[in-house]
């Protein structure tokens, strides 16, 4: 969000009505989203994410692994073009998507502070709560766009390369294409909720520093540390509270009998992180002494 966009709100006017407030907020959100999607760095990340299903699909088409060979999902692609989207999300979720979230969310507030515009944004006047809300909505929009891009390219390319003759699930059952697409939407939604928790953590770190790279690196370090802890079986039930523990539980959606209790638990954990760190980010920004 640029200071010029916020200067469109007259300072001398009385308090806006709810309708006018929503209109101003909408314009600010749209302006921030445009700013995020126009940055070359962010465009480059989307291009890289879109290239993942292309690379996987090309490799599978050339090597033609039989079902049961290779990592989960990959062996299913040759007979189920829709599984290319699932395979791409599985590859992107541990590394590429968290990195994209770290860059976008970590730069949200710290980037303004580093550029020296945060102080001016808050003296227009614009409430700190509204600023955080606008930044958060732009981050959420980018995350949704990234997931849709990966899944969309995976579905289209998978169908083009391997066709669809019904969708054979991991449990061995075959369901119609419409059912498969519905499950694909569920997988995308589940991944989106998972990444919300990480985005909240990155936003909180972004309010703690004026160096965007510090918030980005801190987010990546947290993901790595949590993944390492999740690989230690001695931690027992504590692992279920870790942010990354349930990230791949969407595999339940690719079985004929869906384990809803597993999915519910897998969504409650990242939502809890979102609430906790979102509140912490708001508290930090609301009370921070902004000097730049």
In the chain, where are the structural domains located?
3-287
> What's residue 234's pLDDT?
84
What is the spatial distance between Cα 213 and Cα 215, in angstroms, rounded to a whole number? Answer: 5
Per-residue buried b or exposed e for 163-188, using 16+ beta carbons within 10 Å of the residue's own CB: ebeebbbbeeeeeeeeebeebbebbb
Q: What is the pTM of this model?
A: 0.85
Please state, in angstroms and as integers, the Cα–Cα distance from residue 60 to each residue in 81, 86, 161, following that order: 11, 14, 10
H/E run at residue 27: helix 18-38
Please provide the distance, in angstroms rounded to a whole number, between the alpha carbons at the two ends of the chain: 16
- Choose the most confident range, by mean pLDDT, from 64-73, 105-114, 196-205: 196-205
Q: What's the pLDDT tens digit per position in 165-221?
A: 777 787 778 888 888 889 889 999 999 999 999 999 999 999 998 889 999 999 999
> What's residue 46's pLDDT?
95
Residue 143 CB coordination number (10 Å) = 22
Q: What's the pLDDT tens digit per position in 50-59?
A: 999 999 988 8
> What's residue 111's pLDDT?
84
Residue 253 phi/psi, 5-degree rounding, is: -70, -15
């Amino acid at each position: 969000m640029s200071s010029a966009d916020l200067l469109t709100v007259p300072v001398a006017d009385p308090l806006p009505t709810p309708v006018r407030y929503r209109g101003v907020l909408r314009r600010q959100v749209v302006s921030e989203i445009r700013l995020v999607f126009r940055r070359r760095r962010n465009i480059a990340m989307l291009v890289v994410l879109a290239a993942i299903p292309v690379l996987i699909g090309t490799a599978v088409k050339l090597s033609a692994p039989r079902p049961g060979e290779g990592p989960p999902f990959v062996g299913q692609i040759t007979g189920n073009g829709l599984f290319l989207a699932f395979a791409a999300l599985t590859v992107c979720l541990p590394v590429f998507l968290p990195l994209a979230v770290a860059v976008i969310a970590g730069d949200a507030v710290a980037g303004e502070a580093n550029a020296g515009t945060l102080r001016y944004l808050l003296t227009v006047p614009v409430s700190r709560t509204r600023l955080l809300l606008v930044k958060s909505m732009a981050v959420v929009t980018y995350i949704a766009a990234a997931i849709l891009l990966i899944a969309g390219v995976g579905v289209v390319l998978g169908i083009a390369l391997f066709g669809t003759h019904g969708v054979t699930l991991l449990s061995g059952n075959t369901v119609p294409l419409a059912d498969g697409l519905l499950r694909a939407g569920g997988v995308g939604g589940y991944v989106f909720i998972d990444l919300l928790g990480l985005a909240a953590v990155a936003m909180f770190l972004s309010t703690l520093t004026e160096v965007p790279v510090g918030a980005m690196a801190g987010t990546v370090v947290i993901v790595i540390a949590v993944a390492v802890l999740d690989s230690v079986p001695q931690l027992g039930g504590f692992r279920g509270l870790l942010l990354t523990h349930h990230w791949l539980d969407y595999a339940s959606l690719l079985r004929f009998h869906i384990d809803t209790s597993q999915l519910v638990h897998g969504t409650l954990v990242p939502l809890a992180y979102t609430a906790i760190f979102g509140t912490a980010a708001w508290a930090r920004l609301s009370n921070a002494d902004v000097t730049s």
